[in-house]
Amino acid sequence: MSRLFESFGDDADEAELPIVPLAEAEALDGGLSADVGTTSLLDDSPFGEPLALESDVADDRDDDVRASLLPHEYEIPDFEKDEREVAAYEDAQKRHLRQAIASAETAIHASFKAKRDQLVHELKSARLLEDERRATAMVTTRQYANAYPMHVDKRGIKPPGFWENLFSFGRAGRLYRAAAIATEALEQLRTGMRKRDEQLGALESQMSRALHLKEESIKKAMETAAGIAEFHNRPEVAGLYKRVQRIKKERADYAKRLERGEVSSEEQRDRAISEHKLTLATLPLMGAIIAKVARFGTLSYFQLRDLEKKESLLSYDPRLDPLRNSVFDVYAVAGTVAAKLKRNDNGTAFRVADHFKACWRNQEKAEELYGQHRAALREDRGLPAMKPRDEAEAEIIDRLAALASMVDGGQAHDQRQAATNGSPTTLHP
């Protein structure tokens, strides 16, 4: 492993690509055109068709990745813009619902405030009247008690006897009726006051229930055809709704085409790149891991993720499979590409678990995602190699393949040594 970091370290000597001098290139080009004179290989042939080089035919047949750079018969949606449109539509729905509920709540609060004010006014008037009726009841009861004390006690007043009323020429009856009427009027007033106190206390719970029922009814009305149509006919929503309908229709049509097998691998890939904000792998890749293998029809890519949580696609090559459990750096040095395993500042190995901890500060989330990553390490291995999209990607893949061969070779050596010593080999993430 020491040779690994000597070969791919920051200070390692990198092999330079062969450079063809300009004079040789021009001489070679002149040699190719010398035999044909003024006629170019791309001139029309006697049969009316341009001559095609065999290498051009092979490139057209094998170039799966570069096809996305040419004009397509399909159109890739702008998912970021579409998400903004859908979010704006959903926000408009929420605002409309909140406004309807707020208007209803305002009306309910106003109604209950009127009821509360009415009850409070009645209670104030009753309290003023209570003092007057209590004084009247006390005076009439005292007059009756002074004349006929045996008919007044703590339990109330009793009517006078027949002879008492007769011998008093009806005075006893008049005193009794005055006291009874005043007492009954006072009791009726107090009963009414108690009822209004209860009503005032129950207003708060009644208002809460009314608000809840009104909110539920508004939500249900918004879900009806009439409610939805009324919302969509609003001037500020009509245009937005049409755009959202086009987005939903496009996604539904794509799902149907995908189910029928009418979507090309290139369209699946380009759509995923746009939807998930992926990029094609370019230098540098610092602290990167192979997050998973992304498959789009017949196309396969390593989906890499660096320490900034940026994800990119690298054409699949089975030679890189040993790096699935490693963290690596790929960068340019002196005009060429270098690759090495990432290490901590103190020289210890930077593990895949450390990558997840660095990307997700939440410890529980990092452990959960790392467990899922470990479970998927053995999936989609040994697939056919993809042709690199260009020379730059080919060089990245070659450097990583060399690194992978050294990592894999080191593990094989450790396993053989462990088998010889009779001890199990532990592979650390």
pLDDT tens-digit profile, the chain (429 residues):
333 333 333 333 333 333 333 333 333 333 333 233 333 333 333 333 333 333 443 344 344 444 444 446 789 999 999 999 999 999 999 999 999 999 999 999 999 999 999 999 989 988 888 888 888 888 888 888 888 888 888 788 888 888 877 878 888 888 888 888 988 888 898 999 999 999 988 998 999 999 999 999 999 999 999 999 999 999 999 999 999 999 999 999 999 999 999 999 999 999 999 999 999 999 999 999 999 999 999 999 999 999 999 999 999 999 999 999 999 999 999 889 999 999 999 999 999 999 999 999 899 999 999 999 988 888 888 899 999 999 999 999 999 999 999 987 645 444 444 444 443 333 333
Which helix or strand (DSSP H or E) is residue 153 part of?
strand 152-153
Do 358 and 286 meet the contact criterion of CB atoms below 8 Å apart? Answer: no
Task: Note the residue count of the chain.
Answer: 429
The backbone region for 396, taken as left when phi is positive above 0, alpha when psi lies in -120 to 50, beta otherwise, is alpha
Task: Kindly report the number of other CB atoms within 10 A of residue 100's CB atom.
Answer: 18
CA distances from 194 to 14, 127, 136, 296 (A): 97, 11, 21, 77
Per-position DSSP letters for 41-91, written without gaps between them? TTSBPTTSSB---HHHHHHHHH-SSGGGGS--SS----HHHHHHHHHHHHH
| Helix, strand, or coil (residue 381) | coil
Residues in contact with 167: Cβ distance below 8 Å, sequence separation at least 6, in sequence order: none
Do 163 and 172 meet the contact criterion of CB atoms below 8 Å apart? Answer: no
- Residue 156 has phi, psi (to 5 degrees) of 130, -160
How many CA atoms lie within 13 Å of 368's alpha carbon, on the beta-carbon side? 6
Do 300 and 314 meet the contact criterion of CB atoms below 8 Å apart? Answer: no
Q: Return d(Cα 359, Cα 366) in angstroms, integer.
A: 8
How many CA atoms lie within 13 Å of 83's alpha carbon, on the beta-carbon side? 7
Q: What residue type is 285 in one-letter code? A: L
Which 8-state DSSP code applies to residue 247? H
The H-assigned helical ranges of 74-167 are 79-147, 162-167
